[in-house]
Amino acid sequence: MAESTPSLGVAVIGYAFMGKAHSHAWRNVGAFFDTPAIEQKVLVGRDGARAAAAAKRYGWQESATDWRKIIERDDVHIIDVCAPGVMHAEIAIAALAAGKHVIVEKPMATSVEDAERMQEAFAAASARGQHAIVNFNYRRVPAVALAKKLIEDGRIGELRHVRASYLQDWLTDPNTPMSWRLRKDEAGSGALGDLGSHLVDLVTHLTAESITDLSGGLRTFITERPTGDSGDGSIKGSGGSGPLETVTVDDSAWAHGTLSGGGLLQLEVSRFALGRKNEMTIALYGERGSLLFNLENLNEVWFFDGQNDSQEQGFRRILVTESDHPYVGKWWPDGHIIGWEHAFVHQFAEFLTSIADGTPSSPSFAEGLRVQQVLQSIEDSAAADSRTVTVPA
């Protein structure tokens, strides 16, 4: 990049878990990637004192409480939305209207309708040279990027089975208190949107295929939970002791579907798989090769090459920590593993590069909308005794 390029001003809206993770990525992206320079302008949050403290801690020049004012500032070029899902559409549409580039956390929205409105807003903004992405961060894990490359290179061939799961266990205890994540009006859905959106995006991204039809279901195991303190900063919260409140989202969701290339897809997500803290797995079985990925060991991908001599075939554990692997060479010498948050740094590096180059940014709003449609189809099938439904094209 030319030294004279002016820096891009960034504002992050939200200072909780995602705000912290995004702040980390903005603070570090320039130290590792040769992307356009950015400035950490403003951290926005509802609670002024908390926003100010977070801004100081996370390296922001200022804090603010009203996002509407921030999207009007000339020195802010990127609006990065880490607010709750129900607010994504309003903020993103306004920011796009104000001429800003936009990042929204996943899932893109809490309804297909909102996602459609966002996509329309982006279509207009795109014509004006603006960029927008939905932050499906797992695409940017080096092992996932290597898997994508192997698929593109034809090493897997026609897909027969894709099996994906995202399992957590933080709701197993019936005393885990009620929180916004368990209310449909705030979160949109439960495990389906939170975890299922990752799986749907990863599957369609990796395979470059769409999901054409599916049968699915939803389950809420514990239908009432105590209200109580979940303000300890953790997702789980400490044991609630207040009056019971009805859980209005799913604890688990599943689908079995068909890929546009003819393969079969199986998905399952849950917050009730005791012992699984954050285990996302994806297995792809093709005609020529197979691939396995597990988020618990995110520096690895396992590759079965069906073209090896038959005596020597086996799943190969590729440690994706070498300089010729995607992204990872930017960090440390060969053999040093990276962590979960590094994918955010990669995502932002890609986003900044696409802005600088004027190339399309991804994961696009169109892709985010597509994920939303699949999630809606799972809800539709669940409401129809799991009967197979066609996913809108």
Residues 100-159 that bind a copy of itself (CB under 8 A): 146, 149-150
The stretch among 44-52, 72-80, 125-133, 305-313 that binds a copy of itself (CB under 8 A) is 305-313
In the shown chain, the binding pattern of residues 20 to 59 toward a copy of itself, with x for contact by CB under 8 A and - for none, equals xx-xx--xx-xx-------------------------xxx
Query: What is the spatial distance between Cα 188 and Cα 111, in angstroms, rounded to a whole number?
Result: 7
298 scored as a contact of a copy of itself (CB under 8 A): yes
Burial class (CB in 10 A: 0-12, 13-18, 19+), 385: exposed
In angstroms, give the least distance from the CB of 14 to a copy of itself. Answer: 15
- Residue 44 phi/psi, 5-degree rounding, is -110, 135
Query: What is the spatial distance between Cα 256 and Cα 267, in angstroms, rounded to a whole number?
Result: 6
Distances (CA, A) of 112 to 161, 168, 188, 250, 269: 27, 25, 11, 18, 20
In angstroms, give the least distance from the CB of 175 to a copy of itself. Answer: 12
Q: Which helix (H) or strand (E) holds 34?
A: none
Considering only residues 278 through 297, tell me which ones interact with a copy of itself, judged by CB under 8 A.
Answer: 278-279, 285-290, 295-297
In angstroms, give the least distance from the CB of 161 to a copy of itself. Answer: 6
In angstroms, give the least distance from the CB of 299 to a copy of itself. Answer: 8
331 scored as a contact of a copy of itself (CB under 8 A): yes
Choice from 7, 212, 248, 266 touching a copy of itself (CB under 8 A): 266
Going by C-alpha positions, the residue among 157, 174, 168, 161 that lies closest to residue 196 is 168
Query: What is the spatial distance between Cα 35 and Cα 157, in angstroms, rounded to a whole number?
Result: 34
Choice from 215, 361, 362, 376 touching a copy of itself (CB under 8 A): 215
Q: Which is nearer to a copy of itself, 13 or 382 (CB)?
A: 382
Token pair, residue 112, equals 């297909």
Q: Which helix (H) or strand (E) holds 200?
A: helix 197-207
Q: How many residues at the interface with a copy of itself, by CB under 8 A?
A: 95
In angstroms, give the least distance from the CB of 109 to a copy of itself. Answer: 23
238 scored as a contact of a copy of itself (CB under 8 A): no
Query: What is the spatial distance between Cα 294 and Cα 271, in angstroms, rounded to a whole number?
Result: 17
Choice from 336, 356, 360, 383 touching a copy of itself (CB under 8 A): 336
Q: Which is nearer to a copy of itself, 335 or 392 (CB)?
A: 335
Choice from 186, 264, 354, 380 touching a copy of itself (CB under 8 A): 264
Strands (E) in the chain, as ranges, are 8-13, 38-44, 62-64, 78-81, 101-105, 132-135, 159-167, 211-219, 224-226, 244-246, 252-259, 264-270, 279-286, 289-294, 300-305, 315-319, 389-390
Token pair, residue 277, equals 């803290």
DSSP state of 385: T
DSSP state of 272: -
Q: Which is nearer to a copy of itself, 167 or 178 (CB)?
A: 167
307 scored as a contact of a copy of itself (CB under 8 A): no
Strand duo 224-226 + 244-246: pairing: antiparallel
Q: Which is nearer to a copy of itself, 286 or 368 (CB)?
A: 286
Entry field: residues in the chain = 393
Q: Contact, 299 vs 143, CB < 8 A?
A: yes
333 scored as a contact of a copy of itself (CB under 8 A): yes
Q: Which is nearer to a copy of itself, 15 or 365 (CB)?
A: 15
Considering only residues 356 through 385, tell me which ones interact with a copy of itself, judged by CB under 8 A.
Answer: 384-385
In angstroms, give the least distance from the CB of 115 to a copy of itself. Answer: 26
Q: Which is nearer to a copy of itself, 99 or 157 (CB)?
A: 157
In angstroms, give the least distance from the CB of 386 to a copy of itself. Answer: 4
